[in-house]
Structure 1
Amino acid sequence: MTMGSILIAISISFLAVSILLSSNDFNPVEFTLPPPPELSGPLKPKVISQDSTNLFEGQAPGPESLLVEKGLLYTCLADGRCVKINLKTGKFEKTVRLTSHTNCNGKPSTLDYCGRPLGLRRLNENLFVVADSYLGIYSIDFEKEKSQVIIPSDTKVNGKRIKFADDFDILDNDTIIFSDASTKYNQNWFILSFLEHDKSGRIIQASISTGKCHVLVDDLAFPNGVQVHPDKQSVLFSESGTAKIHRYYLAGPKKGKKEIFADNLPGLPDNIRLSSSGKSMYLALFALRMAGQPSFFDSTSQYPWIRKIVGELMKVLPAPLVSRAFSATNPLYGIFLELDLDGNIVNSYHDPEGKIIHSTTQVVDDGEKHLYLGSFENNYIGRVPKH
């Protein structure tokens, strides 16, 4: 070994020790995940049809959540726009922003005031609701191209402000249930929540008319997608940090209880949406974990010191590099699932090359022949024929 190599090794060792001994509020902990599942049975690879395609490439950055109705697609984008798209003509017919700022481009430095809209659903004939990870919960009128705040992000719930409104579902005309993915880290630094195995996330019930909120479930590792179960007595939510879906009972004999709905998923789960039949649901997985190819978080779950070093290095990097670093840990292989109403996997869609299915955050059924795919980082909307 040359003197130069020795000095480099000593420098790296000194840096690692300094990081490990550093005292701050980023403190990864050990956690346990079951061995990733084999791709067999309903997980046996069924490669998506060659008719799958990417729509609006370059025009739709980060279409996290989607809604498809009667030939129209609604989504919100990384630059803060919420748009109505005519699928037949490809025209972006309506555009709504949640703020009046004009220099919104999706760059991390603009998100605090431009927002980053994520989950999207229809409230009634005229209004939609969107969860913005920086600004809070808003209503949108696409036809009038107007928005209005329902629950601002500075609202405190149990003494903590809403830090990361992510996804939600509508229980009735005046009640929504949404995920606050982390009360410690905002979206720019969501990767630190995973590296730390931060359990500050929670599920919140809120009144649309009054804005009053209360916590249903807390102590969660990045709660994400939310879907009211068709029984109307329970709500499902994905916990991305543990690769599972929970079911929380809102009414009936199990009211107030939480149980596991789906466990040891082959990826980190994101949004959940009912199929058009209402007899199954589609689950997006934004990061792969399977037998023989565990995720970075599986591999380092028992080694918090590795995640400590990685996280501290990321903290001194520009936010775009942090996002790319997270993407680099995610294999190209794409997969999403169809579950029955009891949480059993009944179907899976695979894209080994990740050309269509990659970093998927939502799968929505158009009621006919296709499924449309959202993503927090892709610059297109995927379209896949149903199996």
Structure 2
Amino acid sequence: MARRLIRPRRWTPPRLADPGPTAPLRISRRLPTGGHGPEDVRFDDAGRIMTGLAGGTVVRIDPATGTSAVLASTGGRPLGLWPLAGGGALICDHDRGLLSMSPDGEISALVSPGYRFASNVVAGSDGTIWFTTSTSRWALDEHTGDILEHSCTGRLVRRAPDGTVTTLLTDLKFANGVVLAPDESHLLIAETAGYRIRRHWLTGPDAGRTDTLVGNLPGFPDNMSLGSDGLLWVAIAAPRNPLVDRLLPMPGLLRVLVWNLPERVRPAATPIAWVMAFTMEGKRVHDWRSSDGSYGFVTSVAERDGVVVVGSLTENDVAILDTGDVLG
């Protein structure tokens, strides 16, 4: 099958800064999901882990016992989740858009046409929903094409309680994780291909304005979540690739040539397990990394009462981290 053509856009990434001190990421337990690719992980209101799998199922896992239960099947590829009180959830589905899952597992579409690659979702106290779409050019299994192309076709979308859908931001660099501030004054959006976390103000004198909370990250930020500890937890899928950083500001023909190389010699993600945590003001608190092969390509992280769980697009299990000497 012919490889999709890329349309390279030039961008000069910030020079990679000294990352500062890091700590080892250690796996305490692996919890089988019964499938593959738990891309996003979330704690529900009862402390159970919810995730979506490559086969289309949404499952719930008891972290204490490791037992899992299938809740529903979306008929697509579930990515970001937002658990709702009572056992339901909002689901970003790569194929079907924004979905709602009832407590008994019934799936209904909330926003579908034109919103493929819906990535991550949050809801406000009044029923407003915000979600991201990563790219309008590429599919999940071609996401490296978007990184190399630098398409900047990600979006932040709002669904009002009356069902009205509005695109708030466009031209995002592979929009991914989204977090709502506790006071609902702003949203935080991970721009995976921009190596940064943006802040979009919803209320106050800066309402409608977007700035940067954390920039020049050393890796690709993916899904994010707000922990019970008040920290912003960020999954880092992979370190930045020096070759890609060098190619991005250069004539696009070079990236076209690289994209058309055999896959085995094209730039690829470095295997690593990596999470970071920041205050809501953007100060780094934790930076945990491991390249020992025990887990890899972390695309999500969630914290609740000192328990930290991670998920991955390429693993079969979710993993509970060993945080005993760090979080207490």
So what's the TM-score if we normalise by structure 1? 0.77
Of 136, 147, 150, the match for 2:107: 147
1:54 counterpart residue number: 30
Give distance in 2, aligned partners of 1:52 and 1:237: 29
Say whether the 8 Å CA contact 1:198–1:221 is kept in structure 2. yes
Give CA-to-partner distance per residue, 1:334-381, whole Å, 9 cap, x none: 32111011112121112132423x21111111313x210011122221
CA gap of 1:48–1:28, structure 2 versus 1, over 3 A, is same
1:110 counterpart residue number: none
Larger radius of gyration: 1
CA displacement at 1:172 relative to structure 2: 2.8
Matches within 5 A, 1:325-364: 329-356=268-295, 358-364=296-302
Say whether the 8 Å CA contact 1:166–1:179 is kept in structure 2. yes
Of 206, 229, 254, the match for 1:277: 229
Give distance in 2, aligned partners of 1:277 and 1:216: 29
2:256 counterpart residue number: 308
How many aligned residue pairs are there? 321
Matches within 5 A, 1:81-160: 81-99=57-75, 115-142=76-103, 144-152=104-112, 154=113
1:10 counterpart residue number: none
1:264 counterpart residue number: 216
CA gap of 1:359–1:299, structure 2 versus 1, over 3 A, is farther
Give distance in 2, aligned partners of 1:89 and 1:337: 27
Give, as a single letter, the amino acid of the residue that structure 2 aligns with 1:215: T
Greater percentage in helix? 1
Say whether the 8 Å CA contact 1:26–1:308 is kept in structure 2. yes
Matches within 5 A, 1:173-192: 173-192=126-145
1:366 counterpart residue number: 304
Give distance in 2, aligned partners of 1:325 and 1:91: 40
Say whether the 8 Å CA contact 2:157–2:169 is kept in structure 1. yes
- Of all paired residues, the percent bearing the same amino acid is 25
CA displacement at 1:173 relative to structure 2: 4.0
Alignment of 1:75 onto 2:51: yes
1:30 counterpart residue number: 10
3-state SS in 1 of match to 2:288: strand
CA displacement at 1:221 relative to structure 2: 1.4
Give distance in 2, aligned partners of 1:309 and 1:189: 17
Unaligned segments of structure 1, at least 5 residues: 1-18, 100-114, 155-160, 315-321
The farther-off stretch of 85-94 and 219-228 is 85-94
Say whether the 8 Å CA contact 1:81–1:97 is kept in structure 2. yes
Say whether the 8 Å CA contact 2:7–2:149 is kept in structure 1. yes
Give CA-to-partner distance per residue, 1:297-335, whole Å, 9 cap, x none: 223223433321233457xxxxxxx6x888x71222332
2:315 counterpart residue number: 378
So what's the TM-score if we normalise by structure 2? 0.90
